[in-house]
Amino acid sequence: MSSPAQGVKLSEKLGSYMKYRFLLQELIGRDLKVKYRRSVLGILWSVLNPLLMMLVITAVFSHVFKFEIENFPVYYLTGSLIFNFVVEATSNSLTSILNASSLIKKVYIPKYIFPLEKCLFGFVNMLFSMIAVLMIIIILRFRISWTFLLFPIPMLYALVFAIGLSLVLSALYVYFRDLMHLYGVFTTAWMYLTPIIYPESLLENMSFIKYIYKLNPMYHLVTCFRSVVMYRQVPSLEQNLICIGISLLMLVIGLLLFRKLQDRFILHI
């Protein structure tokens, strides 16, 4: 049973979030305006960018490398949508505390607001990019089922995971500025360890690598998303529990580390 003190702390945290929710909305709106400022097509680039990348990747990997993946454009988009969201959200969150240093020094704002806002901004972009997936499904006349309606569930798993990882990265970056360069290399390796542009069957005969990539959180998040969108399947209980466990574990780690380090941010920004 939770104690009255724990209940008070939880209500205080919820009250804090409600108090600053308008600031979150303003920051997300600002980022949208900045990203598409002076762009003729504006927010349509959130749809066009994945479509153009899909055309390039399909041309290279379907024809040059002869990867035999049925409905490759849908396969690629369903993988890249989730992966690119996590990478975009965490990469933008990496410098979020440092970039907000002038504001942090002037007024009191819960510092977690800044990495959280970058994740929510990335989530909005992912929702717009989902239009690209729908367009390709319609153009290719790809058959879908009612399971398609479950697509927000793996997206929410990815959001929780991204928030946790963003809290870790944004806190560590205040102390270790080289993390930006290291993370860029890491995300490149991370992409190749996730079956986005190649079939899982490619690694079936590589037992060691097969076990490694199944330890990859993005493998499970991408597979869960593909199950409901592409393979017309309801993710199994085990698959859901793995995704929930991965996401919540990362969120808890992020919250604990961020809480431990945030009091000394002011000395390093």
Give tens-digit pLDDT for 179-214: 989 999 999 999 888 888 888 777 666 666 767 777
SS (H, E, C) 29-69: HHHHHHHCCCCCCHHHHHHHHHHHHHHHHHHHHHHHCCCCC
> Does residue 121 sit in helix, strand or coil?
helix
For residues 224 and 155, is the Cβ–Cβ distance under 8 A?
Answer: no
Quote the pLDDT of residue 153: 96
Q: 245: which 2 tokens?
A: 């466990």
| List of the chain residues with pLDDT < 70 | 1-18, 35-48, 50-52, 54-55, 57-68, 203-208, 210
Quote the pLDDT of residue 94: 93
- Amino acid, res. 32: L
Q: What is d(CA 55, CA 51) in angstroms, rounded to the nearest whole number? A: 6
Torsion sign, CA atoms 217, 192, 210, 222: positive
| Boundaries of every domain in the chain | 41-267
Quote the pLDDT of residue 253: 96
Within 13 Å of residue 68, how many CA atoms lie on the same side as its CB? Answer: 1
Q: 103: which 2 tokens?
A: 């504001």
Q: What is d(CA 57, CA 40) in angstroms, rounded to the nearest whole number? A: 25
Eight-class DSSP state of 148: G
Quote the pLDDT of residue 2: 46
Residues 51-86 have pLDDT tens digits of 667 667 666 665 555 566 778 888 988 999 999 999
Eight-class DSSP state of 198: S
For residues 50 and 132, is the Cβ–Cβ distance under 8 A?
Answer: yes
Quote the pLDDT of residue 6: 46
Quote the pLDDT of residue 1: 46
Quote the pLDDT of residue 55: 67
Question: Considering the chain, what is the average pLDDT of its residues?
Answer: 83
Residues 6+ apart with CB under 8 A from 259: none
Q: What is d(CA 74, CA 90) in angstroms, rounded to the nearest whole number? A: 25
Total residue length of the chain: 269
CB atoms near residue 39 (< 10 Å): 10
